[in-house]
């Protein structure tokens, strides 16, 4: 109780500096948050796209359908395969007519090759697995060609990774600044309370008791910074939705809590380092 | 109760000059001893070693079962709860009343809240300041402020009171008052170790006098008495 009171008292002693440290933590986590949101929405987009990921292995003309069915049966036993459809030449033609209705007169004969249409299980739809599966299919002697939309999947994955890395780098840079600023505010708080701390020491207060209010102060600043970052991220997302008419997702409760907890951790780290260094000098 | 055994103290940035040199001395339970000598003689270093603010460079200090060689920081806190420490500059918190300052020593050492008011009132009565319990330090004279500091030092019932030049900032009348207070404290069974420049005070009393110079004990009235006996 005494620790909590003195933690709050030091807020009122240096309100501007306290505000600065809260804002810096907020911006640090906001940077994490923004890029996190981009990564999150890209991941959601990827998930939708991934559902449509399909590998189509075109087979040589005159491959017996029975053979195709037997191979399809084998392939469907691969751990990454959800199901395999055998598409005969007639079915391929029918599908082309259906999908490209305006050109249906062009499709007269069975010039389209038969194929094995393969769907991968969720969790196996990343570019690497898709490529690996495609390569295995290429090894089958009756397979002429294997197609899958690898380029744009790779691009989306790359974008997601860039967003993740950019967010982490920017966020870490801000986090370092936040920790330094929190350290400075704690240093000021330690100096402002130097006399009190010296008295605590010689009447027999433990080190932990002396440190506690500073650690609480740092954590509270971190929690406030984290909450502010969450609000800023939400406002940014709403603005994007409103002005760019984008359907975007926001962090779920668990991720939001993680953001605030990261703030608390940042505050705690800054004050722990500073209090350790400066208490020795009092 | 307190034992310094061949203690030498060299501060890290002193260029090798010893603040204390091979000091051996004992202070018995309930004893009153003056520590005298010019500035820089090593008086404050003795007191700092006693409340384990500093560690000896060589030798060892034993205080009530704690040994400087192996004392942990937690034990230093425990030891200090059993010591009363008073300084020349009072070291009171300006934003707390007299009773607030005394209570502070109890609050920060985890004494249960309901016990605090009684203990504070008793300590302030012991130093003759019960009527000024709600006064702030700026409303008190130097002598009264020092009495508050004594009340804070006594509130935990210490076995020894360590006073570092407690009358250094006081006029003659206040000095006499504080000295009388120290006598009363000692009469109630608490040992007193008082560092002072005030030779008149030392000479006018019958208590033990340990004189320091250049980090060494140059005179100890206890030794003289022992030899005479």
* B54-107 residue pLDDT tens: 999 999 999 999 999 999 999 999 999 999 999 999 999 999 999 999 999 999
**CA within 13 Å, CB half, B47:** 27
- A233 CA: distance to closest CA in chain B (Å): 41
Question: What pLDDT score does A1 carry?
Answer: 66
Residue B4 to residue B204: CA distance in whole angstroms: 27
Mean pLDDT over A34-40 rounds to 79
Residues of A in contact with B53 (CB under 8 A): 201-202
Q: What is the pLDDT of residue A106?
A: 63
What distance lies between CA B211 and its chain's CA centroid? 16
Binary contact (A205, B109; C-beta < 8 A) = yes
Chain A residues close to B85, C-beta within 8 Å: 202-203
Fold entry, domain A54-148: Alpha-Beta Plaits (3.30.70)
Task: Report the range out of A100-104, A170-174, A178-182, B177-181 with the highest average pLDDT.
Answer: B177-181
Backbone angles phi, psi at B9, to 5 degrees: -130, 120
Name which of B77, B85, B152 is nearest A205 (Cβ-Cβ): B77
* The pLDDT of residue A145 is above 80: yes
Q: Give yes or no for residue A89 having a pLDDT over 90.
A: no
Percent of chain A scoring above 90 in pLDDT: 7
- The per-residue pLDDT of chain A, averaged, comes to 82
- Across the range B26-37, mean pLDDT stands at 94
Q: In this structure, what DSSP letter does residue A280 have?
A: T
Query: Which of A195, A204, A207 is opposite residue B81, by nearest beta carbon?
Result: A204
- Confirm whether the ipTM is greater than 0.85: yes
Q: Among partner residues B83, B108, B152, which is closest to A205 by beta-carbon distance?
A: B108
Instruction: Extract the tokens encoding A176.
Output: 């370092």
Q: Compute the distance between CA of residue A102 and CA of residue A228 in angstroms, rounded to an integer.
A: 55
Domain ranges of chain A: 2-47+155-279, 54-148
Contacts of A2 in chain B (CB under 8 A): 107-108
**From CA A204, how far away is CA A202, in angstroms rounded?**
5
Residues in chain B: 229
- Name the closest residue on chain A to residue B96, using Cα atoms: A196
Most A-contacting residue of B76, B108, B111, B150 (CB-CB within 10 A), to test interface:
B108
For the sheet containing B18-27, what is the strand order?
A: B18-27, B2-10, B58-63, B66-67
| CA distance to partner chain B, nearest, from residue A17 (Å) | 23
At B113 the pLDDT is 92
Nearest by CB to residue B93, choosing from A196, A202, A207, is: A196
Contacts of A204 in chain B (CB under 8 A): 77-83, 105, 109, 156
Domain B2-82+158-228 has CATH 3.50.50.60: no
Contact state of B104 with A199 under an 8 Å Cβ cutoff: yes
Interface probe with A: pick from B77, B90, B156, B166, most Cβ of A within 10 Å = B77
The rounded distance, in Å, linking the Cα atoms of B28 and B1 is 6
* Chain B: residues touching A (Cβ < 8 Å): 51, 53, 73-74, 77-83, 85, 91, 93, 104-105, 107-110, 152, 156
Instruction: Kindly tell me if the per-residue pLDDT of B130 is higher than 90.
Output: yes
- Measured CA to CA in angstroms, residue A22 lies from A171, A212, A219, A237, B38 at distances of 15, 19, 10, 21, 51
User: What is the spatial distance between Cα B90 and Cα B99, in angstroms, rounded to a whole number?
Assistant: 14
Q: B83 to chain A: which residues are within 8 Å by CB?
A: 204
Phi, psi of B204 (to 5 degrees): -80, -5
Backbone angles phi, psi at A14, to 5 degrees: -135, 70
User: What is the tens place of the pLDDT at every residue in B39-55?
Assistant: 889 999 999 999 999 99
Residue B1 pLDDT level (bands cut at 50, 70, 90) = confident
Distances (CA, A) of B177 to A167, B200, B201: 69, 15, 12
For residue A198, the chain B residue with the least C-alpha distance is B91
Helix, strand, or coil (residue A58): strand
Residues of chain B with CATH 3.40.50.300: 2-82+158-228
Q: How many CB pairs under 8 A join A and B?
A: 47
Mean pLDDT of chain B: 92
């Amino acid at each position: 109780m005494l620790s909590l009171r003195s933690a709050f008292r030091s807020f009122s002693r240096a309100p501007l500096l306290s505000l600065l440290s809260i804002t810096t933590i907020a911006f640090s986590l906001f940077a994490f948050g923004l890029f996190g949101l981009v990564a999150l929405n890209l991941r959601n987009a990827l998930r939708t796209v991934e559902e449509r990921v399909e590998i189509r292995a075109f087979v040589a003309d005159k491959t017996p359908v029975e053979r195709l069915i037997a191979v399809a049966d084998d392939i469907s036993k691969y751990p990454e395969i959800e199901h395999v459809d055998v598409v005969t030449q007639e079915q391929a033609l029918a599908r082309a007519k259906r999908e490209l209705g305006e050109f249906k007169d062009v499709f007269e004969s069975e010039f389209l090759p038969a194929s094995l249409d393969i769907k991968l299980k969720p969790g196996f739809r990343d570019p690497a697995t898709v490529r690996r599966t495609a390569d295995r299919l290429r090894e089958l002697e009756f397979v002429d060609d294997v197609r899958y939309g690898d380029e744009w999947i790779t691009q989306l994955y790359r974008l997601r990774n860039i967003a993740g890395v950019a967010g982490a780098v920017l966020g870490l840079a801000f986090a370092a600044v936040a920790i330094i600023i929190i350290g400075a505010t704690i240093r000021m708080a330690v100096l402002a309370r130097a006399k009190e701390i010296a008295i605590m020491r010689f009447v027999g207060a433990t080190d932990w008791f002396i440190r506690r209010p500073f650690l609480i102060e740092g954590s509270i600043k971190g929690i406030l910074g984290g909450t502010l970052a969450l609000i800023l991220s939400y406002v940014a997302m709403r603005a994007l939705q409103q002005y760019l008419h984008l359907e975007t997702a926001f962090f779920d409760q668990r991720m939001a809590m993680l953001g605030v907890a990261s703030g608390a951790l940042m505050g705690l780290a800054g004050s722990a380092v500073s209090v350790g260094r400066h208490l020795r000098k009092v | 109760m307190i034992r310094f055994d061949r203690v030498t103290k060299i501060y890290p940035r002193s260029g090798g000059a010893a603040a204390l040199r091979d000091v051996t001395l004992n202070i018995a339970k309930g004893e009153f001893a003056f520590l005298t000598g010019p500035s820089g003689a090593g008086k404050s270093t003795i007191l700092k070693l006693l409340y384990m603010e500093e560690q000896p460079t060589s030798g060892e200090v034993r205080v009530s079962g704690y040994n400087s060689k192996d004392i942990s920081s937690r034990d230093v806190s425990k030891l200090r709860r059993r010591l009363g420490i008073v300084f020349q500059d009072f070291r009171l918190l300006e934003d707390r009343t007299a009773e607030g300052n005394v209570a502070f020593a109890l609050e920060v050492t985890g004494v249960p809240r309901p016990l605090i008011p009684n203990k504070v009132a008793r300590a302030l009565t012991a130093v003759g300041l019960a009527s000024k319990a709600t006064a702030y330090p700026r409303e008190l004279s130097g002598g009264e402020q020092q009495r508050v500091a004594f009340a804070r030092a006594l509130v935990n019932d210490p076995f020894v009171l360590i006073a570092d030049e407690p009358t250094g900032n006081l006029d003659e009348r206040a000095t006499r008052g504080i000295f009388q207070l120290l006598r009363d404290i000692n009469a109630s069974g608490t040992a007193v170790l008082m560092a002072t420049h005030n030779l008149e005070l030392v000479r006018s009393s019958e208590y033990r006098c340990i004189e320091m110079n250049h980090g060494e004990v140059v005179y100890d009235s206890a030794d003289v008495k022992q030899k005479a006996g």
